[in-house]
Structure 1
Amino acid sequence: MLRCNNVSRLPHFTPQLCQRRNLIGFVRNALGLDPPPSPDDPTPENRFHPWDQSPAGDLRERAARIRALAVCPVTGKEINYTCPLSGIPTHHSRTAWEQDKQYHETKKWAILKKVNIYEHDLRSGRPFPEFDFPQELEFDRTVNMTNWDLFFYTRQFYSMDTEFQLAAVTKMLSYPITIASVLHQFSPYYLNPKGPITLEGLKSLAALRYTLYPFENKTAAATKDRPVRIFILGARAEGLLPGHVWKQLQFLFPETAFEIHFIGPECLVNKEKHQYVSSPTPIVRRVDETLAFVYHTDYFHVYHEAQDFFPYDPYLDIFFCFHPGFGAPESTKLWLDKSMAGLLETKCAIFTTGFNKSDLLRDVNAVVDKYGSELDMLMEPTKNVYGSTKWELNDANPQEVYQFNMYIAGFRGKRYHAIEI
């Protein structure tokens, strides 16, 4: 920002001009008027471009990929027509587009348009002040975990006044803050019947909070001889997030050190070679003395059977599976055999998310159907308070839209089995 006390460095600025601008600013503030909008500010109008004519080359490539992969919901033929309302290829022809009554009556194009404008905003080159995240939590401040708005306000994030800013930041923060919302003492999830947390869930979360809040438990400090471990199974995008994003989780528990263990063949990417990294030993990257990333590039059951993570401790360990696909046909066997059996053996809390309600219910039901007598539900399936607000698109079916981490549930291996007497 140019300041009037630097006019000597800027010969084209005169004292009279600065005085005039200061007067205008004073009048605006006195009247409570918003500053004039910048032409760079994102709006649905200036961020809208048909994808096949997009100024962004990768979005033109996505349009071509949609045409190659998807089929028209009306005719079952290839997609050759771009919806003029959303700017995304959706139908075989204009006739098919006009005949799709469900598409128009449900205004599905409106959500597709959001997908379009959000993607163009991220590629617009505008400043992104919303990514200037706050640092340590001030000792005299309390964080409100009720929802995104109150969390951002009480954590003193940049004021996100537009849907574009909210979409960009919530997609990035959804993973760490979803974890934080489950663990935090002011969690937005309550005990049944007012909330989705079961009695067994309360027991598991109470054990973890006993460690996370040592000053409230006089003996906790003596029992905590290692960092809290957060295991993220099937990690993909989670492993790509930079350290300062995950640090927002640690800031909420300033007395606790964390190790985040990313597990799975896609958890680590060599960005220069554009390929996944495979390593026979864990790869450790330390952010600072309170936060470390550990990458394990094989499946969880491999490390579990080798006892690499032993001993597990319900006071110090927790598992998260973001959009795992427990019940998806292509991945059910991989998840529900050795990996799920190993997860339940740990007796630690396990939380999972889904792209939407049906996606989460499919995963939870698949686990319950196979292991129902061996597990306790910790959190009934519910809407995730900290799901991403950014709409995403399935290129193989452009009318299928979703948001990351929209729903969440939790379970754990049964600790006390019934005994017949």
Structure 2
Amino acid sequence: MATNSICSRCLRLATQLPRTTTKETPRRAFTSTTRHQPSRRRIHQSTLRPAPSLEASTQPPTTEFPPFSATRGRTIDQPSNIHERALLQPNNLLHSFTNSPAPQIRKRAAIIRQNAYCPHPSHQPTRNPQSPDDPENRKTGTQPPAHVRYECPDCGIPVSCCEEHFASDYESHIQICDTLKQINEDDHDLVSGRFFPEFQYPSSQIEEAQVNMTNWDTLLYSREFNAINDERSMRQATRLLTYPMTIGSILHELSPYSLKDRLTPEGLRSLSALRYTMHPPRTGAGTTISGLRPNPPPIRLFILGARAESSLPREVWIQLSHLFPRLSFHLIFIGPESMSNRDDEFPLPPRTDSNPYGAIVEDRLGGGMKVTTYVEYFHTLFEAQHFAPFDPYFDAFVLFHPGLGHPASSHEWAPTLPQLLATKVPILCTGYSAFDMERDIAWVKEQAGGEMDVLMEPGENRFRSLRWDLNDLDPGDVSCGNWGVWAFRGKRYEADEYRGKEGE
């Protein structure tokens, strides 16, 4: 029999079992010990061996041992993935949040039940509505607010205070029930214990292999990612890659955004300056002294109000440098929440004379990437001239879901906005929805007083996250990361040379 027709486990078993001659008969033991001993599990059986009975455990151990694998250091009967088996299978991901097999999901369900309120119209409102589609607008009743307790049997997420309110308001819940069900399965998939091949990222490729940025499919294919044939795996992959790819899709010379697609003339002028630096011509540099060429300074990307994006695996951000192989990046995360839940990973350094703002520097990420994190407000660093001067050829600001016009966070951006406009540097902004972006644009125009130019009209982001996220404080509020994108900068005034009055 050819060895290529046998699986590796069977082949290993065949080569390690003791061979017997035709004249000899294997010795069988007819003792009571072997008679009560459970049957040995087959090679391809995935379940573990059942525990021996109490009678068998009291008998003296038998002298026959299972064959031992010298190469693996374990018995052949022992499966290779005892400690690596998945907690949940792909066809068994939908579970009730409260009774979930994963403790992380049960803890999240407790947070939802403790903080979220029932959206039924018979309750009194608990807050000001945030958008025209906010369910809080429908609350006109007199019943006191009540926390959610009842879970939808279809999506498994607590959405109502009781079954009666759930049944009477089922018409509004059915609009998002399918999305909540998808969120439930995606969250359980992350804690299922399976191997995630979609989180294996490719390295750099030759420059002649052009990147196609039409959509997610063409980008992942042209960048030689592992084939993703499952929609859930695609959602998990894009949830992380949306941050670097959103930036790269706007700054790259092969960007899908142009004058015919949301880009304004002022935006083309600003992005042309950046692209001139980010795509330098080949200068014929070599390994000899005569081939030495000056290298441009790194592109500085100031990511203000950094939260989740600052804790992304660095392999995700390195994908941005692979889009620009002849360039180096310096990512600067700034914000009071930029190191949330990362104190054990990087303890905050003391503020000294050499490091007055406690910067955390990660400079061993490869030759094309450097990351610096500041747990500080940008207006404090700007007033100290910590990053001055700013250059529109080498600098850009990025704001992921900043909430510029949100009532709870607009006061924090009030001292920062005039400083951003004064730099005349492009500012890229994303939003959770169209209403979120329109609210930010209205606030910026009001605060700027006409001293701003729109570089990109607001619209849906081609490289938004395909996975939906759930708001634990309001289960009816679902959103996806970087749904939309727009850009602006401070107004630039062109000065003409004075040639005197006409007729002089």
TM-score when scaled to structure 1? Answer: 0.86
Counterpart mapping for 1:159-198 below 5 A: 159-191=227-259, 194-198=260-264
Distance verdict in 2 for CA 1:340–1:149, change over 3 Å: same
Contact 1:374 1:413 in 2 (8 A): yes
* Mapped partners of 1:333, 1:88: distance in 2: 34
Q: Is 2:144 aligned against 1:78?
A: no
* Number of aligned residues: 389
Distance 1:104 1:269 in 2: 33
Which residue in 2 is equivalent to 1:290? 368
Indicate yes or no: 2:469 matched with 1:401: no
Report the Cα distance in structure 2 between the residues aligned to 1:364 and 1:264, rounded to whole angstroms: 21
Larger RCO: 1 or 2 (CA < 8 Å, sep 6+): 1
Q: CA deviation at 1:297?
A: 1.3
Q: 1:42 to 1:251 in 2, by over 3 A?
A: farther
Which sections of structure 1, spanning at least 5 residues, go unmatched?
A: 15-37
Indicate how the Cα distance of structure 1 residues 196 and 164 shifts in structure 2: closer, same or farther if over 3 A, else same. Answer: same
Assess if the C-alpha contact under 8 Å between 1:263 and 1:300 holds in 2: yes
Which residue of structure 2 lines up, in the alignment, with residue 353 of structure 1?
430
Matched, 1:64 2:130: no
Deviation at 1:363, TM superposition (A): 1.1
Give the counterpart letter for 2:261 in structure 1: G
In the aligned structure 1, how far is the partner of 2:215 from the partner of 2:280?
A: 26
Distance 1:5 1:403, change over 3 A: closer
Residue 132 (structure 1) shift: 1.1
The alpha-carbon deviation at position 113 of structure 1 amounts to 0.5
- Look up the SS of the partner of 2:390 in the other structure: coil
The 10-residue stretch of structure 1 (225-234 or 250-259) with the greater mean CA deviation from structure 2: 225-234
Alignment map for 1:22-421 (pairs within 5 Å): 43=90, 45-74=91-120, 75-76=122-123, 77-106=146-175, 108-191=176-259, 194-215=260-281, 225-269=296-340, 271=342, 273=344, 277=348, 280-286=357-363, 287-336=365-414, 338-416=415-493
What is the percentage of aligned positions where both structures have the same residue? 40
Two-structure CA RMSD over aligned residues (Å): 2.7
1:223-281 C-alpha deviation (Å, 9 max, x unpaired)? 96411101100001111012211110000000000000000111124636499847523
Give the equivalent residue in structure 1 for 2:12: 10
**Alignment partner, residue 47 of structure 2:** none
Q: Aligned partner of 2:488: which letter? A: F
CA shift, 1:114, in A, is 0.7
Q: What is the rounded CA distance, in whole Å, between the counterparts of 2:180 and 2:7 in structure 1?
A: 48
Q: 1:140 deviation in Å?
A: 2.9
Separation in structure 2 between the aligned mates of residue 139 and residue 103 of structure 1, nearest angstrom? 51
Which residue identity is paired with 2:478?
V
Distance change >3 Å, CA 362–CA 277, structure 1 → 2: farther
Deviation of residue 59 (structure 1)?
1.1
The letter of the residue matching 1:416 is Y
Can you give the 5+ residue segments of structure 2 that lack an aligned partner in the other structure?
17-84, 124-145, 285-291, 352-356
Cα deviation 1:281-308 (Å, max 9, x = unaligned):
3221011221100111111111111111
Distance 1:6 1:99, change over 3 A: closer
Quote the Cα distance in structure 2 between the aligned partners of 1:70 and 1:40: 29
Q: Which runs of 4+ in 1 moved over 4 A?
A: 2-9, 38-43, 221-224, 272-276
Larger helix proportion of the pair: 1
Q: Distance in 1 between matches of 2:204 and 2:86?
A: 34
Quote how far apart the aligned CAs of 1:368 are: 1.0
